[in-house]
């Protein structure tokens, strides 16, 4: 197990709100060795009586395949009971692959970094987002206030209000016809509410047209895929950069001078997104030939190409098989974690919603019936009756 004692391998940094766990040069060959280490971790955490960020050092750590499940289960238990977030450094290629596979299937953030400085920077960003998320609702990044939406004699939304903090994954759930997509259309500027306000970064933007809302930093994907089917993946994602381009008809037509340099700059940005979403192999393929799950990923790429402050996702995993859902959930988490993008998500898969959301609001027949953390919403009797169909 190594010369250094288990106790000495667990360090608390009060100023960073971080517990550092040093697995470096350790070998875990048996369940007993894993339990011995994590029993001490659990004991120290219980004594602290608080939650911590975890910084885990995997340099030259070896975990035998036969005990990986036990190792992961004990780590998960510590995270659920006392964790605020985890970053990992120094993992060898095989360990990184195993962690990433488990992150995909169990929907957690892998957060793998090469060195301590990168990990500490990631932890500082996590703390900033948590501090912002804990601020008063009046200072919400995006505030929806008393929204009513009528189509003739039909009421789509009635006095709906909530606040979204910077860096959150905020989910809107509810049965079919609850008003979820209508709410997203109001936020994006596609619908003008009959009454109420949409406030973003402290400014009222309720009456702005859709293109002006997009320029503020809002991007979205659609419940039904809205791509240019005859265009390639690369060209579809490039359309997301149009708002960022300073077009000149003559220079664009000649593809000369500033127009050429600007095109190259934006293409480099798009290539980074394509790499991030792992769709390099289909970059030159017309999207009409792609399977459904990949088309959804291309649509996400186009929205990301707008460099959004707020990303609106309308059922991004609808119609996907299990593997495609796991991939999309991982990309949503990675975008939120690595880029700090605020997300407002509509999704019917309750497993996904409860696993990746920081806050959930529930609509039913156009009215808000509940709001809170995933755990609070999951056990709310009103939600159980209206949405989950029990009681």
Is there a contact between 82 and 52 (Cβ–Cβ < 8 Å)? yes
User: Which domain CATH number covers 74?
Assistant: 3.30.750.24
The pair phi, psi for residue 173, each rounded to 5°, is -125, 170
Are 326 and 228 found together in one domain?
yes
Q: Are 173 and 347 in contact (CB under 8 A)?
A: yes
Q: Which residue has the higher pLDDT, 261 or 196?
A: 196
User: Which of 175, 97, 180 shows the shortest CA–CA distance to 144?
Assistant: 180
Contact between 149 and 139 (Cβ < 8 Å): no
Q: How many CB atoms lie within 10 A of CB 241?
A: 20
Q: What is the pLDDT of residues 41-86, one digit of tens each?
A: 999 999 998 888 899 999 999 999 999 999 998 988 887 778 888 8
153 is a domain residue? no
- Check whether residue 184 and residue 308 sit in a common domain: yes
CB 374 within 8 A of CB 353: yes
Number of domains in the chain: 2
145 occurs within a structural domain: no
- 1 in a structural domain: no
Q: Which of 48-57, 96-105, 302-311, 342-351 has the lowest mean pLDDT?
A: 96-105
Looking at per-residue confidence, does 159 or 261 come out higher?
A: 159
Tokens standing for residue 231:
């265009």
Question: Could you tell me if 185 and 248 lie in one domain?
Answer: yes
Of 197-211, 327-341, 372-386, the least confident: 372-386
pLDDT, residue 2, reads 46
CB atoms within 10 A of CB 353: 21
The pair of structure tokens assigned to 349 is 């898969």
For residue 250, name the pLDDT band (cuts at 50, 70, 90).
low
Say if residue 111 is in the same domain as residue 209: no
Domain assignment present for 236: yes
Q: Which domain holds residue 280?
A: 166-192+202-388
Same domain, 244 and 124: no
Regarding whether 273 and 347 lie in a shared domain, the answer is yes
Q: In the prediction, which pLDDT does 9 show?
A: 95
Model confidence pLDDT, tens digit, residues 280-297: 899 899 989 999 889 999
Distance between CA 305 and CA 239 in Å, rounded?
Answer: 8
Buried/exposed code over 248-273 (b: 16+ C-beta within 10 A; e: otherwise): eeeeeeeeeeebeebeeebeebbeeb
26: nearest Cα among 95, 77, 111, 81: 95
Residues 223 and 353 in one domain: yes
pTM over 0.85: no
Residue 149 is assigned to a structural domain of this protein: no
Q: Given a cut of 50, is residue 304 above it in pLDDT? A: yes
Q: What is the mean pLDDT of residues 96-121?
A: 82
Q: Where are the beta strands (DSSP E) in the chain?
A: 10-13, 18-22, 27-28, 52-57, 62-63, 83-89, 112-113, 142-151, 154-164, 169-173, 195-200, 203-204, 218-221, 310-314, 342-346, 359-364, 367-372
Burial of 49 (0-12, 13-18, 19+ CB in 10 A): exposed
Identify the pLDDT of residue 292.
Answer: 87
Whether 253 and 117 share a structural domain: no
Handedness of CA 223, 178, 373, 79 (dihedral sign): negative
Through-space distance between the first and last CA atoms of the chain, rounded to whole angstroms: 52
- Helix (H/G/I), strand (E/B), else coil: 242: helix
Give which of 170, 148, 146, 166 is closest to 157, Cα–Cα. Answer: 148
Q: What does the pLDDT read at residue 124?
A: 85
Same domain? For 67 and 178 the reply is: no
Q: Are the C-beta atoms of 29 and 37 separated by less than 8 Å? A: no
The pLDDT of residue 322 is 83
Instruction: Please list the helix, strand and coil fractions of the chain in percent, rounded to the nearest 5, in that order.
Output: 50, 25, 30
Tell me how far apart the alpha carbons of residues 112 and 127 are, in angstroms, rounded to a whole number: 17
Q: What is the pLDDT of residue 61?
A: 95
Is 144 part of any domain? no
Q: What are the tens digits of pLDDT across the range 11-26?
A: 999 988 999 999 999 9
226 shares a domain with 338: yes
Residue 197 domain flag? no
Name the one residue in this structure whose structure tokens are 């500033």: 258
Sequence-ordered strand ranges (E) for 45-140: 52-57, 62-63, 83-89, 112-113
Is the pLDDT score of 130 beyond 70?
no
What's the confidence (pLDDT) of residue 137? 44
CB atoms within 10 A of CB 276: 15
Pair (310, 258) in one structural domain = yes
Q: Using 50, 70 and 90 to split pLDDT, how confident is the model at 260?
A: low
Residue 106: per-residue pLDDT: 67
Same domain, 52 and 174: no
| CATH code for the domain of 273 | 3.40.50.300
Whether the CB-CB separation of 165 and 310 falls below 8 Å is answered with no
User: How many Cα atoms within 13 Å fall on the side-chain side of residue 34?
Assistant: 22
Residue 75 falls inside a structural domain:
yes
Q: Which of 171, 184, 141 is nearest to 376 (CA)?
A: 171
């Amino acid at each position: 197990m190594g010369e250094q004692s288990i106790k000495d391998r667990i360090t608390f940094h009060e100023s960073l709100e971080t517990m550092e766990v040093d697995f470096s040069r350790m070998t875990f060959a048996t369940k007993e060795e894993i339990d011995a280490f994590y029993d001490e971790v659990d004991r120290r955490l219980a004594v602290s009586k608080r939650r911590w960020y975890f910084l885990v050092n995997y340099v030259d750590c070896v975990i035998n395949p036969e005990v990986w499940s036990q190792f992961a289960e004990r780590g998960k238990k510590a995270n659920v009971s006392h964790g605020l977030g985890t970053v990992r450094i120094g993992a060898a290629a095989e360990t990184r692959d195993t962690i990433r596979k488990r992150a995909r299937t169990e929907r957690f953030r892998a957060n793998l970094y090469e060195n301590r400085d990168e990990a500490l920077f990631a932890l500082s960003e996590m703390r900033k987002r948590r501090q912002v998320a804990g601020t008063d609702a009046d200072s919400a990044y995006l505030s929806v206030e008393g929204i009513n939406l009528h189509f003739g004699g039909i009421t789509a939304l009635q006095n709906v209000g909530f606040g979204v903090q910077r860096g959150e994954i905020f989910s809107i759930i509810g049965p079919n016809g609850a008003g979820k997509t209508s709410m997203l259309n109001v936020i994006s500027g596609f619908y003008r509410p009959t009454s109420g306000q949409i406030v973003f970064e402290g400014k009222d933007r309720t009456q702005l047209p859709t293109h002006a809302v997009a320029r503020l930093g809002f991007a979205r994907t659609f419940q039904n895929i809205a791509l240019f089917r005859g265009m390639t993946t690369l060209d579809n994602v490039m359309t997301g950069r149009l708002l960022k381009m300073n077009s000149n008809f003559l220079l664009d037509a000649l593809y000369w001078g500033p127009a050429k340099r600007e095109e190259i700059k934006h293409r480099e940005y798009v290539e980074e997104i394509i790499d991030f979403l792992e769709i390099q192999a289909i970059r030159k393929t017309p999207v009409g030939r792609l399977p459904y799950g990949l088309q959804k990923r291309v649509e996400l790429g186009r929205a990301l190409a707008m460099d959004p402050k707020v990303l609106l996702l309308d059922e991004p995993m609808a119609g996907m098989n299990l593997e495609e859902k796991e991939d999309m959930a991982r990309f949503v988490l990675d975008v939120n974690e690595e880029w700090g993008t605020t997300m407002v998500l509509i999704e019917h898969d309750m497993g996904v919603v409860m696993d990746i959301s920081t806050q959930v609001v529930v609509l039913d027949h156009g009215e808000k019936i509940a709001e809170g953390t995933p755990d609070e919403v999951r056990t709310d009797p009103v939600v159980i009756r209206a949405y989950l169909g029990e009681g």
